[in-house]
Amino acid sequence: MDYKKHIASKLNVEGVTAAEMESLIAVPPNTDLGDYALPCFRFAKTMRKSPAAIAEELKASFGADEYIEEVTVAGGYLNFRVNRKKHVAEVLSRVIKEGGNYGSSDEGNGKTVCIDYSSINIAKPFHIGHLSTTVLGAALYRLYKFRGYTAVGINHLGDYGTQFGKLIVAYRLWGDRSAVEKGGVRELMRLYVKYHEEAEKHPEMDDEARAEFKKIENGDEEANALFNFFKELTLKDVGKIYEKLNVKFDSYAGESFYNDKMAPIVEELRNKGLLTESEGAEIVDLSAYDMPPCIILRSDGASLYATRDLAAAVYRKNTYDFYKNLYVVAYQQNLHFRQIFKVLELMGKDWAKDCVHVAYGMVSMEDGAMSTRKGKVVFLEDVINKCVEKCLSVITEKNPDLPDKEKIAEQVGTGAVIFGALSSNKIKDMVFSYDKVLNFDGETGPYVQYTCARCNSVLIKGGETGGYEVKDLLPQEYDLAAHIGKFPEVIASALDKLEPSFITRYAVDLAQLYNKFYFDCKILGEEENVRNFRLALTKASLITLTNALTLLGMAVPERM
């Protein structure tokens, strides 16, 4: 039942549409006076009455019904109390019936959303700084699919640029194929760091690196064989991490994929009179929009990120005919994407408005910043492994006889990393703390997973849930059921704001409400109707928590 829509449909204020009325109805922070409230202050000027008088007038015309059992006035507010027994019965019935589909919809049928996320660099480490884009993009991917959209996950690989010439130079000077095959990206990074150390003393090495990259561009067989070797090695390494994080992609079309697709874009810009020359480079002048110029070609004719991103956007529209085209990239690239979207608009692409930069804050470790060139990075694989080890230690201490301890530690440790990265508003910078994300009692992934295990234990002991009638409700019972009922609304809001943290916050709140209910309300020892009702509440809690964690990319252990 959509209570806001129902209430709005029964309220009539001249000049105010039902949709506008619905947007004004709020859930008060204190529900002692009601479950929903309408502030009437906005109507005072047009109705020429006090807000309190307007509230009284609307109350008289509303009348209680089967869904709203009481309407009261408090000052300038009109308060509505729902029929709680009916509401709880409907919520539990719906959740248990829909199961894993609870919260889903078909709103996105026929619409495709492209999501560009993770976008790792070939031959460079998959480090803690890649965590946000990876889990945030994957969560949005699942959310869109859950709401009926066709989602296209794109890993826009960083596989183009002089850095590959540098790596080839380093490999030829100090590399060994068997050592690279054994050490993977870590060995490639060692070579990359050594190159930069030596290039500081011998700057002429950079000329050699540029020449090697030019060979890659020109199709040189030997240079491309090495480049493809580095690429395959990187994808093999990061594939293991993607598997741990439950992340998938539909396309690995990276920067090099657009190498032959940039010329038509440049030609179109030139034909439309958008290109101007500046110090030998070709640019799109954006000064009229308070932005620096968007450089399309350098003075030596080389392309840039902007050139490739323009080609990629056009390719994605032509290939997928997207409804939305999202770029999950850190906020440092705000200007870059403003420029790209403006250039697309100037090119006459009416779909430029459908391109969205999903900006997020940076992730750092407690001991400071990172630098790939200097070799100071924190590998994401090491972070996950450390979390898993710590989880195994806690589980072994608290529940030494638990079967499949290693598997559960893997699920909880990895889940802690994901939940921790998605627990705050995406735009906030995050300092990763092992102790914080692994707290089994705090507002964390392990706490929510443990609550799921608790629900599962109750259901195993309680057996099949029989029939029940919703009778007098305790506050703990109603608060829990009402929160379960909000899940579809939270999913819709998370997608509307592109903010998966709404789901982590919701899951923590639901876990806390269930645990309060669990400790305050006896379940298995009560008479049959109460027992069955509380088992149904437990089952609905487990279904909803499971759906929330699954959307975030987390596993739900049956025991912990």
Amino acid at 377: V
pLDDT for the residue 299: 86
Nearest to 149 by CA among 158, 157, 141: 141
Structure confidence at residue 213 (pLDDT): 86
Residue 172 and residue 165 in contact, taking contact as beta carbons nearer than 8 Å? no
- In the chain, count of helices (H) and strands (E)? 22, 12
pLDDT digits (tens, 9 = 90+) for 298-316: 887 778 889 999 999 999 9
- Whether 459 maps to a domain, the answer reads yes
Q: Which of 279, 325, 282, 277 is nearest to 301 (CA)?
A: 282
**444 found inside a domain:** yes
Q: Do 496 and 23 touch, CB atoms closer than 8 A?
A: no
Domain assignment of residue 8, yes or no: yes
Per-residue pLDDT, 432: 78
Q: Is residue 404 part of a domain?
A: yes
The domain boundary residue, chosen from 61, 82, 103: 82
Residue 527 falls in which region: left (phi positive, over 0), alpha (psi -120 to 50) or beta = beta
Residue 467 domain-assigned (yes or no) = yes
Amino acid in the structure at residue 73 = V
What's the domain range around 405?
Answer: 380-552
- 3-class secondary structure, 26: strand
Our measurement of the distance from residue 543's CA atom to the centroid of its chain's CA atoms, rounded to an integer in Å, reads 21
Low-confidence ranges of the chain (pLDDT < 70): 366-376
Helix (H) or strand (E) holding 7: helix 3-9
What pTM was computed for the model? 0.91
Report the pLDDT value the prediction gives residue 537, as an integer from 0 to 100.
97
- CA angle 287/293/296 to nearest 5° reads 145
Predicted pLDDT at 6: 94
| Residue 171 belongs to a domain | no
Is residue 488 in some structural domain? yes
Question: Does 472 map to a domain?
Answer: yes
Residues 360, 348: Cα–Cα separation, whole Å: 29
Six token digits for residue 375: 């070799």
Q: What is the mean pLDDT of the chain?
A: 92
Positions of E strands within 83-186: 112-116, 150-154
CATH number of the domain residue 440 falls in: 1.10.730.10
Of 32, 66, 82, the residue at which a domain comes to its end is: 82
Determine the pLDDT at residue 370.
52
Q: What's the gap between Cα 505 and its chain centre?
A: 13
Contacts of 414 (CB under 8 A, 6+ apart): 244, 245, 384, 387, 388, 554, 555
Shortest CA distance to 72 belongs to which of 64, 80, 83?
A: 80
Q: In the chain, how many domains are there? A: 2
Q: Which of 60, 82, 104 is the endpoint of a domain?
A: 82
Integer Cα distance of 314 and 56 in angstroms? 57
CATH number for 30: 3.30.1360.70
